[in-house]
Amino acid sequence: MHHLLLRKSPQLDRISLIGYAKTLGLDVEQFTKSLDAKKHDMTIERDVRLATDLDLYNTPTFFINGRKVVGKVPYEHLKKVIVEELEQK
C-alpha cells in the first residue's frame, strides 16, 4: 500500500483509498470499516501540524543535528554535512 499511495499522491480521498485497497486485493469491507473508524485521526493531525511547523513539504527531508537537508541528495553530500556537524562539537 505504501508504494501505491506514494505513486497516486495526492489522490488520497476516501473513494481513491478504497479503490487502492481493491487493487491490492485487500479485504475491502474491513479496510473501509477501519478507514471510517478514524481511529488514528488525532495522531495524523498531530503529525500534519508538526510537519507544517517544521516546513516539511518534500520527501525525503533529513535533520542532521538540527540542520535541514531537503531532497534526494548524494551520499557524499550527507556525509559532508555530518562531518561538518561533528567538527563543530
| Residue recorded with cell 531537503 | 70
pTM: 0.60
Q: Which of helix, strand or coil describes residue 63?
A: strand
* Local confidence band at 23 (pLDDT 50, 70, 90 cut-offs): very high
Strand partners, 63: 68
Query: What's the pLDDT band for 57 if we cut at 50, 70, 90?
Result: confident
Q: How many domains does the chain have?
A: 1
User: Cell triple for residue 27?
Assistant: 479485504
Q: Is residue 69 part of a domain?
A: no
| DSSP conformational letter for 23 | H
**Is there a domain that residue 27 lies in?**
yes
Burial class (CB in 10 A: 0-12, 13-18, 19+), 21: buried
Give me the domain span that covers residue 32.
Answer: 2-39
